Structure 1
Amino acid sequence: MSVLKTIFTWWNGATLGVLFTISRRGRFVGQDELGNRYYEARDDRDSYDRGRKRRWVIYKGYADASKVPPDWHGWLRYTYDEPPTEAPLRRQAWEKDHLPNLTGTIYARRPQGALARGGERQRAAGDYEAWSPE
């Protein structure tokens, strides 16, 4: 079944066509802590802008752009010339670790009063009270 997924689905990693193109045209640059693998073209032949080498990410598991950490995102979008394997970003003490977007998953935040938690919440001072005729 995984061979069929590789052939026909792009959301579970990469298709065979993409893997073939990257193996032929790209070179491995690095891997992040989530297991995503990053590649850069060997030359600018198939680039959108001459002088810039094309860059790719192969997601580990489900393809979701929010799974790309900020340092790799900056490299993919040409904000940084050097990949984080060569020139890592300096982390500030107040910065939190990167988390992918969990909306729509079982790990999504469901505050008190959310419909997924029953929709009951405590009354607040500014709550709306509907008008009712006498």
Structure 2
Amino acid sequence: MAFFNPFTWWNGATLGTLIDSWRHGEQVGTDAQGHRYFRAKPNKRNPAARERRWVIYEGANDASRVPPEWHGWLHGRFDDIPESHLPPAKIWEVEYTPNATGTADAYRPQGALERGGKRVHARGDYESWTPDS
């Protein structure tokens, strides 16, 4: 079962974003996860406006799923499409993984309620603080 987030219930894009992408948007690329990236030039009424850039997520809307190179492009750090300027991958680099907080894949240490709430008891090297001492 997928994680339900009440603030992003639409998974992918709102109707307005889909219409805007179809009417004004130009798809410029897709990342490894299937997210589609768009841009729209300023319109005739406001030619001095900045170019608008947006993403339509494949699956759940979660900004942490946007890879760093596309994040930089979305925020206007550079103008060219990221794929044209990426250096070749190094052998020690790992695949990008999105933030798992709030999902079933999240890290849960020993003692977490989701793992039974039992933690290792303190050993003799621990001394609790008391206000009298």
TM-score interval w.r.t. the shorter chain? 0.7 to 0.9
Amino acid in structure 2 at the alignment position of 1:86:
S
Q: Secondary structure at the match of 2:37?
A: strand
CA–CA distance in structure 1, aligned partners of residues 87 and 39 of structure 2:
19
Residues 1:55 and 2:53 aligned together: yes
Amino acid in structure 2 at the alignment position of 1:45:
N
Structure 2 gap segments, 5+ residues each = 1-7
TM-score normalised by L of structure 1: 0.74
Residues 1:15 and 2:27 aligned together: no
Preserved contact between residue 37 and residue 59 of structure 1 (Cα < 8 Å): yes
Q: Secondary structure at the match of 1:98?
A: coil
Cα deviation code 1:102-128 (max 9, x no counterpart): 111111111112121112222344545
Residues 64-75 of structure 1 mapped to structure 2, 5 A cutoff: 64-75=62-73
CA–CA distance in structure 2, aligned partners of residues 108 and 70 of structure 1:
21
Cα deviation code 1:32-52 (max 9, x no counterpart): 1111100011x2129x99353
Preserved contact between residue 70 and residue 98 of structure 1 (Cα < 8 Å): no
Amino acid in structure 2 at the alignment position of 1:37:
R
Residues 115-126 of structure 1 mapped to structure 2, 5 A cutoff: 115-125=113-123
Q: State the superposition RMSD in angstroms.
A: 2.7
TM-score normalised by L of structure 2: 0.75
Question: Which of residues 96, 101, 104 is equivalent to 1:103?
Answer: 101
CA–CA distance in structure 2, aligned partners of residues 11 and 49 of structure 1:
32
CA–CA distance in structure 2, aligned partners of residues 110 and 58 of structure 1:
30
Cα deviation code 1:42-82 (max 9, x no counterpart): x2129x99353100100011111011010100100111221
- Number of residue pairs aligned between Structure 1 and Structure 2: 121
Call closer, same or farther: CA 1:89–1:44 in 2, change over 3 Å.
farther
CA–CA distance in structure 2, aligned partners of residues 108 and 91 of structure 1:
27
Residues 1:39 and 2:12 aligned together: no
